[in-house]
């Protein structure tokens, strides 16, 4: 388990939980499950995808221990179509960026469902040199432009806590 795994769920999820209809949820790059386990504890049926077999094993063991509806799967997110399409009420992605996954993430959201995204803004790399590659940061308004076909309910770019981030909550039209 890493230090990240012991962190609380994202404040973005907690603060906006009432917006989301219960149902199937998918977390892309779930890591040690801080957000996926939280969603499962709130009544969502969660599938988490991550490439780290140790993180996946931890998530599955923790979900079983707590009696939660959460299954983690080890997948290579950089392979074509790792994200199942379908009727997902909520797709979430935190601190992982592969621009090629965005179309699949959008397709996975059912009409009236939501997508939640939070990760680094380019300012984080420019000012602090982290993450090490600027490709792992969204440019200004880049994420927003990719969701013009969704209803954007919340969008933030700026400095929060100790980092430059971008946050998005968008609803797929019915």
| pLDDT tens digits along 14-50 | 999 999 999 999 999 999 999 999 999 999 999 999 9
Q: Provide the whole-model pTM.
A: 0.91
At residue 99, the pLDDT reads 94
CATH of residue 66: 3.40.50.150
Number of domains in the chain: 1
| pLDDT tens digits along 63-112 | 999 999 999 999 998 887 667 677 899 999 999 999 999 999 999 999 99
User: Would you state the torsion angle of the CA atoms of residues 4, 92, 160, 37, taken in this order, to the nearest 10 degrees?
Assistant: -40
- The set of residues, in sequence order, having a beta carbon less than 8 Å from that of 89 and lying 6+ positions away, is 20, 21, 22, 23, 24, 25, 44, 109, 110, 113, 114
Under 8 Å between Cβ of 120 and 165: yes
**In terms of residue numbers, what domain contains 82?**
3-171
> Do strands 24-28 and 109-120 pair parallel, antiparallel, or not at all (unpaired)?
unpaired
């Amino acid at each position: 388990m890493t230090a990240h795994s012991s962190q609380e769920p994202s404040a973005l999820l907690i603060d906006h939980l009432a917006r989301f209809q219960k149902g199937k949820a998918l977390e892309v790059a779930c890591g040690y499950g801080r957000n996926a386990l939280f969603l499962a504890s709130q009544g969502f049926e969660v599938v988490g995808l991550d490439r780290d077999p140790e993180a996946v094993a931890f998530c599955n063991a923790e979900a079983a221990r707590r009696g939660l509806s959460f299954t983690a799967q080890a997948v290579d997110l950089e392979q074509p179509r790792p994200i199942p399409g379908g009727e997902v009420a909520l797709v979430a992605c935190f601190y992982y960026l592969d621009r090629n996954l965005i179309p699949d993430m959008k397709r996975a959201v059912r009409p009236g469902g939501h997508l939640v995204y939070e990760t680094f803004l380019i300012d984080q790399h420019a000012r602090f040199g982290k993450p090490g590659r600027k490709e792992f940061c969204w440019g200004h308004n880049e994420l927003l432009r990719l969701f013009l076909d969704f209803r954007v309910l919340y969008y933030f770019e700026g400095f929060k806590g100790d980092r430059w981030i971008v946050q998005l909550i968008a609803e797929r039209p019915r």
